[in-house]
C-alpha cells in the first residue's frame, strides 16, 4: 500500500464531509500547512486534515461565510432576546428563536449586480492533549461573492449554489417541518464518494441545515421555519450554556453527534439576534487515532472537550462592488 493510500485512511472516522458551496470570493485554504497533507474533496469539503513534519494531526475550517451582524455590544442584548433566552432544550431554544425572527422585517432581496461581503475568524485547534506541531493556517478573512448570476452559477456541483439561488430556495421552503427537512436533503444530497461509513438521513439533514444557514442573506421568516424544523430532527440538542466562538463571542450551540466518530457538530447562533454565528467540532470522548501502518509517527490523542474546528462569522453585508466594505 503506498503512502498516499495510507494517508487517506488516516482519521477514517472523522465527521462526514460537508458538500458546502465554495463559490468565488469565499474562503480558500492557501496552504495545507506541510508537505504530505491531504485534502478530502476540497471544493465541497471544508474539513481539511493535514500531516505535518511530525505527522501531527491538525484540523481547520474552510467555509463560505455570511452573517447578519451579530457582534452586538459585549454583555448586552435586545430585550426581546435577553428576557427570553431559554437553553433548556432544542424545542425551547429554537422555537423562541423562530418567534423572534418572525417579528423581524425582511430587507429587500439584493440586486443581481450586488455583492456579498463577509468576514470570518478561524480559530486554531484547542487541543488538551499534546499532539505535536500544529503548523499555521493561512487564510483571507475578507471575501466577496456575486449575488446574482456569475461564476458561482457557471461552474458548480449538484449542490453548489449561488447566493441568489440559495436565497430563493430558502424563501420557498415549506412550513411543514417534515417537508422542509426533506427539501433540505434534496438540496444537499448524501455524498457516497470516498466514504468509509454510511451517512444516516438525520446526519445528512443536519449537515444540510448547517450549510444552508451559512448563506447570507436569508429571509428572516425562512430562517424561522428552518429553526422550527431543526428542533424536530432526532438527535439535535442544546449545550445548556453559552459557548465561545472563534472570535471570543458568546454563542448558542445547537449540537448533534457525528455518527461513527468521537465528535459532535455545533451550529453556533448569536444570543443577540439568533443569527448564524459560526460552527465548531468538539471531541465528545477521549480517544486515540493511530497512524496507518508504515508511517513514522506516534498515535494522536484527543480529549473530550477538545475543539478541533472553530469558525466564527463576524460580519456580512450587501455591497455594490467587489472589494467594498460596509
pLDDT digits (tens, 9 = 90+) for 212-234: 999 999 999 999 999 999 999 99
Tell me the pLDDT of the chain (326 aa) as tens digits.
444 444 444 444 555 444 333 332 333 332 232 223 322 222 233 332 322 222 232 332 222 223 334 444 334 555 456 567 899 999 999 999 999 999 999 999 999 999 999 999 999 777 665 555 454 556 779 999 999 865 445 444 455 789 999 999 999 999 999 999 999 999 999 865 545 567 899 999 999 999 999 999 999 999 999 999 999 999 999 999 999 999 999 999 999 999 889 999 999 999 999 999 999 999 999 998 887 777 767 778 899 999 999 999 999 999 999 999 99
pTM of the complete model? 0.75
CA triple 110-73-106, angle to 5 deg: 25
Residue 325 lies in a domain: no
Residues 6+ apart with CB under 8 A from 155: none
3-state SS class at 224 = helix
Residue 215 lies in a domain: yes
Cis status, amide bond into 212, omega within 30 of 0: no
Residue 197 lies in a domain: yes
CA–CA dist 120, 277 (Å, integer): 10
CA–CA dist 183, 4 (Å, integer): 37
User: What is the predicted pLDDT for the residue at 139?
Assistant: 72
Residue 24 lies in a domain: yes
- What is the number of other CB atoms lying within 10 angstroms of the CB of residue 295? 15
Phi, psi (deg, nearest 5) at residue 220: -55, -40
| Pairing outcome for strands 250-257 and 142-146 | unpaired
User: What is the predicted pLDDT for the residue at 131?
Assistant: 53
Range of the domain at 268: 3-319
Residue 268 lies in a domain: yes
Q: What is the b/e burial string over 50-87, where b = at least 16 CB atoms within 10 angstroms of the residue's CB?
A: bbbeebbbbbbbbbbbbbbebebeeeebeeebeeebeb
Residue 326 lies in a domain: no
CA–CA dist 56, 200 (Å, integer): 30
User: What is the predicted pLDDT for the residue at 46?
Assistant: 34
User: What is the predicted pLDDT for the residue at 150?
Assistant: 56
User: What is the predicted pLDDT for the residue at 118?
Assistant: 97
User: What is the predicted pLDDT for the residue at 160?
Assistant: 77
Q: How many CA atoms lie within 13 A of 41 on its CB side?
A: 15
User: What is the predicted pLDDT for the residue at 299?
Assistant: 77
DSSP state of 126: B
Task: Return the residue matching grid coordinates 417579528.
Answer: 103
Residue 271 lies in a domain: yes
Residue 265 lies in a domain: yes
Domains held by the chain: number? 1
User: Is residue 191 within 8 Å of residue 240, measured between CB atoms?
Assistant: no
Amino acid at each position: 500500500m503506498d503512502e498516499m493510500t495510507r494517508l487517506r485512511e488516516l482519521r477514517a472516522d472523522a465527521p462526514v464531509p460537508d458538500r458546502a458551496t465554495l463559490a468565488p470570493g469565499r474562503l480558500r485554504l492557501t496552504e495545507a500547512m506541510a508537505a504530505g497533507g491531504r485534502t478530502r474533496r476540497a471544493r465541497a469539503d471544508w474539513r481539511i486534515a493535514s500531516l505535518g513534519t511530525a505527522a501531527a494531526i491538525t484540523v481547520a475550517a474552510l467555509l463560505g461565510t455570511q452573517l447578519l451582524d451579530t457582534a452586538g455590544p459585549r454583555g448586552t442584548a435586545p430585550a426581546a432576546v435577553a428576557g427570553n433566552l431559554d437553553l433548556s432544550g432544542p424545542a425551547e431554544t429554537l422555537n423562541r428563536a423562530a418567534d423572534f425572527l418572525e417579528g423581524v422585517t425582511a430587507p429587500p432581496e439584493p440586486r443581481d449586480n450586488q455583492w456579498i461581503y463577509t468576514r470570518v475568524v478561524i480559530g486554531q485547534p484547542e487541543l488538551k492533549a499534546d499532539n505535536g506541531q500544529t503548523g499555521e493556517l493561512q487564510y483571507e478573512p475578507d471575501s466577496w461573492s456575486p449575488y446574482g448570476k456569475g461564476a458561482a452559477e457557471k461552474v458548480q456541483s449538484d449542490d453548489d449554489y449561488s447566493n441568489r439561488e440559495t436565497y430563493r430556495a430558502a424563501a420557498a421552503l415549506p412550513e411543514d417541518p417534515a417537508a422542509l427537512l426533506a427539501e433540505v436533503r434534496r438540496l444537499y444530497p448524501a455524498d457516497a464518494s470516498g466514504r468509509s461509513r454510511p451517512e444516516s438521513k438525520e446526519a445528512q439533514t443536519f449537515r444540510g441545515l448547517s450549510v444552508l444557514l451559512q448563506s447570507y442573506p436569508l429571509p428572516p421568516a425562512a430562517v424561522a421555519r428552518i429553526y422550527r424544523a431543526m428542533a424536530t430532527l432526532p438527535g439535535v440538542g442544546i449545550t445548556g450554556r453559552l459557548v465561545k466562538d472563534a472570535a471570543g463571542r458568546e454563542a448558542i450551540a445547537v449540537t448533534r453527534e457525528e455518527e461513527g466518530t468521537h465528535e459532535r457538530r455545533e451550529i453556533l447562533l448569536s444570543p443577540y439576534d439568533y443569527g448564524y454565528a459560526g460552527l465548531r467540532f468538539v471531541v465528545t470522548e477521549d480517544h486515540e487515532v493511530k497512524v496507518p501502518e508504515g508511517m513514522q509517527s506516534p498515535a494522536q490523542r484527543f480529549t473530550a472537550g477538545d475543539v478541533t474546528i472553530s469558525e466564527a462569522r463576524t460580519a456580512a453585508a450587501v455591497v455594490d462592488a467587489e472589494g467594498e466594505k460596509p
